[in-house]
Amino acid sequence: MNVSGWLPKSIHLPPSAKQDAFLLPALFLLNLFFFASWLKLINLAANPLLIFIWLFAVLMLVPLAWRNRAPVAVFVIEWVFSVAGWPIMTWYTPVAGVPLALYAVAVHRPKKTSVLALLASFIPIGLGASVAFRVNDDLAHQLYSFVPNFIFLVIATAGAWGAGRVTQASKQHVQELERERETVREAITAERSRIARELHDIVSHAVTAIVLQAAGASRVAEKNFAQVRQSLAHIESTGKQAMAELRRLLGVLEASAAGSSGGIDELAPQPGLADLPLLLTSLRETGMPVTVHVEGTPRNLDPSIDLAAYRIMQEGLTNVLKHAGVNSYPHLRLVWEESRLLVQIDNDLNAAAANRGQALSVGRGLAGLRARAQAVGGRLHAGPHHNGGYRLTATLPLPSTAHGTVPDATTARADSDDLGYQRESSGGNQGRVSA
């Protein structure tokens, strides 16, 4: 017979078991010396039945070990023990269990519940103090014993309740501070992610364009010096543009560190769809043709959505340049619908060219774009398309009341016909595509 199989492998003790190993015996001894006839109780040889009083005194304190897990249930048990002990109160008056259980109720339960428990505590308090009328025959001695005992028990019980309420308030304050700290931590994490996306978008586009321009210039350095000079001019222009955006972003960081209440708009305008012609120009200068089709009527955008749309197009087209090279033929499609803007980028990336841009990629572009789209209430999908191509599709929400056209900066910065714009109606040759 395997005796060990009948025994539990582990006993789940309450979290406060170590503390209670000292607290509960201390309460038992205090109760014994101040509210019991302990000189009579130790005379077990003369009256063996006194052993049941000792067992009662010990057993009624055992449930207190679970007072933090089930405070109301433990309080009810202690209350019943204290009231049921009325017949033996001339030998042992149980007064320690109720105040400690009441403290747990005040800590872990609402004020209304703890007040009801406090009022209920006056019944065992009254019974415990009334023992004076049973052990004394003279009224004066009865009152002399009853009054101080009653006052002491009331103060002890009310003090336990008050200490519990203070402890609960302190714990709630600590929890509120922890929630505030967690909120700040989440805000810092979100801000770091936003800054990382901004840096990635700025640096990734600039470095990709510069590297490809430099590679092209190196190939024709001995044959076409004029093209080399043109490539160097494009590198200079791209570098200056990247530095300007980095200065703006660093200005935002410095303002935030200094405690400024302003945001990005205070320092410099954010890029948006109005800057799309310049982006397309920089990409075409690398030798990569980009075609653009616009469907529907352009409308004014919220700054956050305007920035998200620009960054998605910038990173999407830059990824084509990284992975498919200048010989790819990316197609950018903008569809203005009633409640959303659809941005779609197709390219002819094939399996042979799939790893071409790994050296220029940091592997965070798509994750950052998805986070950027989700931050403004949109969504983004990217994956293989038919015939070995690749498609990136983003849908961004549009305010239903924001009618009108995109600011004139689009046409002021570059001529749309020169950049390859082809305005189509919603019923054009290409159907609408959802993410």
Question: Which strand (E) or helix (H) includes residue 416?
Answer: none
Q: Are residues 159 and 299 in the same domain?
A: no
Residues 6+ apart with CB under 8 A from 214: 231, 235
CA distance linking residue 249 with residue 355, whole number of Å = 31
Q: Are residues 316 and 175 in the same domain?
A: no
Given this model, what pLDDT does residue 427 score? 37
Q: Are residues 306 and 410 in the same domain?
A: yes
CA distance linking residue 401 with residue 391, whole number of Å = 30
CATH of the domain at 361: 3.30.565.10
In a domain, 64, yes or no: yes
In a domain, 137, yes or no: yes
Q: What is the pLDDT of residues 261-311, one digit of tens each?
A: 444 444 456 788 888 888 888 778 777 788 899 998 888 888 888 888 988
Tell me which long-range contacts 144-153 makes (C-beta under 8 A, separation of at least 24).
150/125, 150/126, 153/95, 153/125, 153/128, 153/129
In a domain, 323, yes or no: yes
Distances (CA, A) of 197 to 106, 110, 280, 290: 49, 46, 21, 24
Residues 6+ apart with CB under 8 A from 11: none
Q: What is the pLDDT of residues 354-406, one digit of tens each?
A: 444 444 444 456 777 888 888 888 999 988 877 678 889 999 998 764 444 44
Given this model, what pLDDT does residue 259 score? 53
CA distance linking residue 329 with residue 293, whole number of Å = 14
Q: Are residues 159 and 278 in the same domain?
A: no
In a domain, 222, yes or no: no
CA distance linking residue 332 with residue 394, whole number of Å = 12
CA distance linking residue 22 with residue 19, whole number of Å = 6
Count of CB atoms situated within 10 Å of the CB of 164: 24
The residue out of 165, 182, 199 marking a domain boundary is 182
CA distance linking residue 53 with residue 159, whole number of Å = 28
The residue out of 182, 217, 246 marking a domain boundary is 182
Count of CB atoms situated within 10 Å of the CB of 211: 16
CA distance linking residue 88 with residue 315, whole number of Å = 84
CA distance linking residue 207 with residue 213, whole number of Å = 10
In a domain, 28, yes or no: yes
Q: Are 419 and 402 in contact (CB under 8 A)?
A: no
Tell me which long-range contacts 110-114 makes (C-beta under 8 A, separation of at least 24).
111/165, 113/72, 114/161, 114/164, 114/165
CA distance linking residue 114 with residue 118, whole number of Å = 6
Determine the 3-state secondary structure of 394 from DSSP: strand
Q: How are beta strands 291-295 and 421-424 bridged, if at all?
A: parallel
Q: Are residues 127 and 275 in the same domain?
A: no
Q: Are residues 284 and 140 in the same domain?
A: no
CA distance linking residue 359 with residue 379, whole number of Å = 28
In a domain, 187, yes or no: no
Q: Are 289 and 329 in contact (CB under 8 A)?
A: yes
Tell me which long-range contacts 128-133 makes (C-beta under 8 A, separation of at least 24).
128/35, 128/82, 128/89, 128/93, 128/94, 128/95, 128/153, 129/153, 131/89, 131/90, 131/93
Phi, psi of 76 (to 5 degrees): -60, -40
**Torsion region of 363: left, alpha or beta (phi above 0 gives left; psi -120 to 50 gives alpha):** left
Total number of domains in the chain: 2
Nearest to residue 309, comparing CAs of 281, 284, 342, 337?
342
Q: Are 125 and 157 in contact (CB under 8 A)?
A: yes
In a domain, 235, yes or no: no
User: Which domain, by its residues, includes 286?
Assistant: 269-424
Q: Are 132 and 146 in contact (CB under 8 A)?
A: yes
Nearest to residue 393, comparing CAs of 375, 378, 381, 377?
381
The residue out of 164, 182, 200 marking a domain boundary is 182
In a domain, 201, yes or no: no
Tell me the pLDDT of the chain (435 aa) as tens digits.
444 444 445 555 556 667 777 788 888 888 887 777 777 777 777 777 778 888 888 888 888 888 888 999 999 999 999 898 888 877 888 888 899 999 999 999 999 999 999 999 999 988 888 887 877 777 887 888 888 888 989 999 999 999 999 999 999 999 998 988 888 888 777 767 777 777 766 776 677 777 766 777 777 777 777 777 777 777 777 777 777 667 766 665 665 555 544 444 444 567 888 888 888 887 787 777 888 999 988 888 888 888 889 888 888 888 887 777 667 788 999 999 988 999 999 887 654 444 444 444 444 567 778 888 888 889 999 888 776 788 899 999 987 644 444 444 333 333 333 333 333 333 333 333 333
Q: Are residues 166 and 31 in the same domain?
A: yes
- pTM comes to 0.50
Q: Are residues 304 and 165 in the same domain?
A: no
Token pair 């469907």: residue: 295
Given this model, what pLDDT does residue 364 score? 56
